[in-house]
């Protein structure tokens, strides 16, 4: 039945009809986008509460326990901040690529590459350098390791147009395999050869271990906050950031303006990889103190995608969102003590990503519902 026939039938019956129209928004204000994403966050925790009820748990008790485990003591708060640091950096790494329309999901592999390079620098240079220089050397090595790993995906993308989603995803598993081999499958320099039990990484020198300032803040967190500010300024105030935004909005406009797509792709991937690599380096210096695959490969790069998405690809918004996700990560191991599966955290993170992804529809489109009564003949 055609649309006019439907309208005539409704007119004859005198029934109500509810026409729904979907209109694309010309532009969404930042506060509007932020508000929609905040509603999506609240909805995600609401859906998480429903799942907890279905599993037989009291959501109020679980959420209260999660809050206490994340913020209830100075030690808990310190662990939350430690979990926040790598998420700020992986969130920034994803943000840089996504702002240009490069859908890199390789932050996990780049973080692993950075942790391998950073641990090597700590073991080699740590004993012979002052603490400040040793820490700087580890950060630089981690950044170079992450950038080099990202280049393995950026060069094929820039020169041959390969799909960066596939290449970065595959490189994640390659990086994980290499790290596992260095500790579990070989007698490498990273492995503690004096340990006759289960294979473990060699502990880095104390000069490269980041102790918290005032019992809470460590140098890794301070560095991540500084990098968030630097990335925000670079995207808004530099020629490189301008070219990145133009290329992200329209490749045709970028080409017309004389912006080299090849150079831009490689540089964006390098910066993104360096940020993720620094996340790996600071993780080794402040949390594991060794190259420990089971502790490092905990999907921090993938959680960074959630952080960047919820933060609307805004570098400064990455910080509070990473803090929220860091709180969730820090409490996961202790939930089993109270009979709650740590998988709850993963489920909530997944629900958050789904809700934020669905919220993008309401950011880009306006739904109008006009209820009117059609008179009878």
What integer best gives the mean pLDDT of the chain?
86
Mean pLDDT (whole number) for 108-123: 97
Spell 180-218 as b/e; 16+ CB within 10 A means b: bebbeeeebebbeeeeeeebbbbbbbebbbbebeeeebb
Classify burial at 40, counting beta carbons within 10 Å of its beta carbon; exposed 0-12, middle 13-18, buried 19 or more.
Answer: buried
What digits encode the pLDDT tens for the residues 166-222? Answer: 999 999 999 999 999 999 988 888 998 887 778 899 999 999 998 765 455 678 899
What digits encode the pLDDT tens for the residues 228-238? Answer: 999 999 999 99
Spell 281-320 as b/e; 16+ CB within 10 A means b: bbbbbbbbbbbbbeebbbebbbbbbbbbbbbbbbbebbbe
Q: What is the spatial distance between Cα 292 and Cα 217, in angstroms, rounded to a whole number? A: 23
What is this structure's pTM?
Answer: 0.86
What digits encode the pLDDT tens for the residues 25-45? Answer: 766 677 777 788 888 888 988
Q: Could you tell me the two tokens for 301? A: 């790069």
Does residue 11 surpass a pLDDT of 60? no
Q: Who wins on pLDDT, 342 or 79?
A: 79
Look at 40-49, 103-112, 264-273 and tell me which has the smallest mean pLDDT. Answer: 40-49
User: How confident is the model at residue 376, as a pLDDT?
Assistant: 46
Q: How confident is the model at residue 152 (pLDDT cuts 50, 70, 90)?
A: very high
Is the CB of residue 55 less than 8 Å from the CB of residue 347?
no
DSSP 55: T
Q: Who wins on pLDDT, 190 or 254?
A: 190
Q: What is the spatial distance between Cα 278 and Cα 230, in angstroms, rounded to a whole number? A: 14
Q: Which residues contact 223 (CB under 8 A, 6 or more apart)?
A: 139, 278, 282
Q: What is the spatial distance between Cα 125 and Cα 61, in angstroms, rounded to a whole number? A: 48
Measured over the CA atoms of residue 228, residue 233, residue 238 and residue 242, the dihedral's sign is positive
Does residue 121 surpass a pLDDT of 90? yes
Q: What is the spatial distance between Cα 99 and Cα 91, in angstroms, rounded to a whole number? A: 12
Does residue 351 surpass a pLDDT of 60? yes
Beta strands in the chain (DSSP E): 16-17, 20-24, 365-369, 372-373
């Amino acid at each position: 039945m055609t649309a006019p026939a439907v309208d005539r039938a409704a007119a004859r019956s005198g029934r109500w009809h509810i026409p729904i129209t979907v209109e694309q928004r010309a532009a969404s204000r930042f506060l509007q986008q932020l508000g929609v994403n905040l509603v999506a966050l609240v909805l995600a925790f609401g859906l998480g509460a429903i799942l907890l009820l279905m599993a037989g748990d009291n959501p109020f008790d679980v959420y209260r326990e999660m809050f206490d485990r994340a913020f209830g003591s100075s030690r808990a708060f310190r662990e939350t901040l430690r979990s926040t640091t790598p998420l700020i950096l992986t969130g920034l790494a994803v943000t840089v690529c996504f702002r240009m329309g490069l859908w890199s999901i390789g932050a996990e592999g780049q973080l692993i590459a950075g942790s391998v390079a950073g641990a090597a620098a700590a073991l080699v240079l740590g004993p012979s350098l002052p603490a400040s220089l040793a820490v700087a050397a580890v950060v630089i090595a981690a950044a170079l390791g992450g950038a080099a790993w990202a280049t393995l995906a950026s060069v094929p993308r820039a020169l041959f147009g390969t799909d960066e989603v596939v290449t970065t995803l595959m490189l994640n598993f390659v990086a994980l395999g290499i790290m596992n081999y260095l500790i579990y499958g070989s007698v490498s320099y990273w492995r503690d050869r004096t340990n006759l039990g289960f294979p473990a990484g060699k502990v880095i020198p104390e000069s490269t271990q980041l102790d918290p300032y005032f019992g809470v803040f460590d140098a890794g967190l301070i560095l991540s906050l500084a990098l968030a500010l630097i990335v925000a300024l670079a995207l808004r105030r530099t020629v490189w950031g301008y070219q990145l935004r133009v290329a992200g909005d329209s490749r045709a406009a970028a080409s017309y303006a004389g912006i080299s797509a090849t150079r831009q792709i490689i540089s964006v991937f390098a910066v993104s990889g360096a940020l993720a690599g620094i996340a790996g380096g600071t993780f080794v210096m402040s949390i594991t103190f060794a190259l420990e695959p089971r502790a490092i490969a905990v999907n921090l790069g993938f959680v960074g995608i959630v952080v960047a998405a919820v933060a609307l690809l805004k570098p400064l918004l990455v910080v509070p969102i990473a803090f929220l996700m860091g709180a969730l990560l820090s409490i996961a191991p202790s939930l089993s003590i109270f009979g709650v599966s740590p998988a709850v955290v993963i489920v909530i993170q997944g629900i958050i990503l789904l809700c934020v992804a669905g919220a993008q529809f309401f950011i880009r489109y306006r739904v109008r519902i006009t209820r009117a009564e059609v008179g009878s003949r």
